[in-house]
Amino acid sequence: MKITDVRTILTCPKQNYLFIKIMTEDPEIYGIGDASMNGREKAVEDLTLEYLRPMLIGMDTDRIEEIWQLIYRGTYWRGGNIMMSALCGIDMALWDIKGKIAGLPLYSLLGGKVRDKVLCYSHVLGKTNEEKIEKAASFVQEKGLKVIRLRAGLPSANGTLNADGIQNTPKVEDWDPEFWADDMINYFIKIRQVVGDKVGIIYDLHERFSPERAIYIMRKLEPYNPFFIEDPIAPDCFESLKTVREHTNVPIAFGELYKSRWECLPGITNRWLDFIRCDLIRIGGITEARKIGAIAETYDVKTAWHGPNDVSPITHAVNWHLNVSAYNFGIQEDGTVDDTVKEVVKGGPVYKDGYLTMEDKPGIGCDVDEEAAKKYPYKRAYIPVCKRPSDNSLCDW
């Protein structure tokens, strides 16, 4: 089947999302992929329409690997967040088309199911620590979550991420990695006391600490049995990850900022991490996730694909298909999907008692209501920045 058009849908139902829609010779068969990149959506859209669309029209939708390589290698410059996001949108849309033509759900194209449902975790959010402690308890007792996720940061910072108006500059959060490390440790311990020993607790340190501070925190948390500590340090220096690994035995999850298989390699092949948790949109989609997943399986590393609210239900659905069909699946982050988002994007995984399930449909199993999307126009928004209140210096958010 030939590609007849490549279109974009940019919309902001609560968060900005960029979707890529690939049309074929058969008006009934099209594919939709997610190319959302928080804070840079327009750049991805421009690359898609100006440079990728003209070269894709007329190509065969079946040749996903060839198209992936053409965009990745054929660009010559390689990778980068903007290009990999556009590549992901196209890659997902092509897998969606392949599934629709075959009449099979994506997981079936990936080899079929090895499990029936997907263990997941949700974010404990709140404006105060008391509110978060209450939320953690209700997640476990009422929602039946087996694993919950905390994040390092001041409670007052919750809510700075939303695209709640057109912004001209990033919002600023107070943060001081040197000063607040002990508060972060005490917060984790309090939550452990409230939820008991059987509940898994994930702690997202969100690249906020130096290796030395990360080790300090992780060693203090060892007796409290974290499910894993996520992104304790910034991803730029591989030796730092090695140092952290050598000084603590807490399971480590890493990689939501990685942009390729090659960035994942040192952490996986040296076993400096236990869970690889790339964002599918950053790494170029399903085609690349399969390869990273297979390398991880080879080295006894599990997957925990990135799945916050700022990736759309389409990516959540793709994560689900990968998870049910991969032996080395570890756990899935489950971003709560807002009702306005559900009005625009139809389908996606459904939560019940700590697990995610999905109805069988050909392809990825999601669609975008374009009329609904038009009701929520794009709003420029930035990822916030962190500054130390003491001297106004910037640190990792």
Q: By the criterion CB under 6 A, which residues form the site for ligand GCO?
A: 38, 204, 206, 256, 308, 310, 333, 383
Alpha carbon distance 368, 9 (integer Å):
9
Q: Tell me the residue number closest to ligand GCO, measured at CB.
A: 308
Q: Name the segment binding Mg ion (CB under 5 A); options: 63-71, 97-105, 111-119, 201-209.
A: 201-209
- Number of chain residues interacting with Mg ion (CB under 5 A): 1
> Among candidates 314, 318, 254, 257, which has minimal Cα distance to 286?
318
Residue 38 touches which of ligand GCO, Mg ion, none (Cβ within 5-8 Å per kind):
ligand GCO
Minimum CB distance to ligand GCO smaller for 19 or for 107: 19
Shortest reach from residue 273's CB to ligand GCO, in Å? 15
Regarding 204 and contact with Mg ion (CB under 5 A), the answer is yes
Residues 6+ apart with CB under 8 A from 396: 177, 206, 207, 208, 234, 386
Q: Name the segment binding Mg ion (CB under 5 A); options: 56-64, 81-89, 113-121, 196-204.
A: 196-204
Shortest reach from residue 152's CB to Mg ion, in Å? 10
Tell me the CA distances in angstroms from 158 to 132, 174, 178, 191, 372, one per residue in order: 11, 11, 20, 17, 28
Q: Name the segment binding Mg ion (CB under 5 A); options: 30-38, 153-161, 197-205, 278-286.
A: 197-205
Residue 310 touches which of ligand GCO, Mg ion, none (Cβ within 5-8 Å per kind):
ligand GCO
Shortest reach from residue 151's CB to ligand GCO, in Å? 7
Shortest reach from residue 148's CB to Mg ion, in Å? 14
Shortest reach from residue 368's CB to ligand GCO, in Å? 20
Minimum CB distance to ligand GCO smaller for 284 or for 308: 308
Shortest reach from residue 360's CB to ligand GCO, in Å? 28
Minimum CB distance to Mg ion smaller for 21 or for 151: 151
Q: Name the segment binding Mg ion (CB under 5 A); options: 69-77, 198-206, 213-221, 359-367.
A: 198-206
Helix axes 286-298, 64-72, angle to 10 degrees: 90
Regarding 310 and contact with Mg ion (CB under 5 A), the answer is no
Minimum CB distance to Mg ion smaller for 100 or for 123: 123
> What is the per-residue binding string for Mg ion in 41-80, x denoting contact by CB under 5 A?
----------------------------------------
Minimum CB distance to Mg ion smaller for 200 or for 362: 200
Shortest reach from residue 96's CB to ligand GCO, in Å? 23
DSSP bridge partners of 209? 233
Residue 302 touches which of Mg ion, ligand GCO, none (Cβ within 5-8 Å per kind):
none
Q: Could you list the residues that contact Mg ion (CB under 5 A)? A: 204
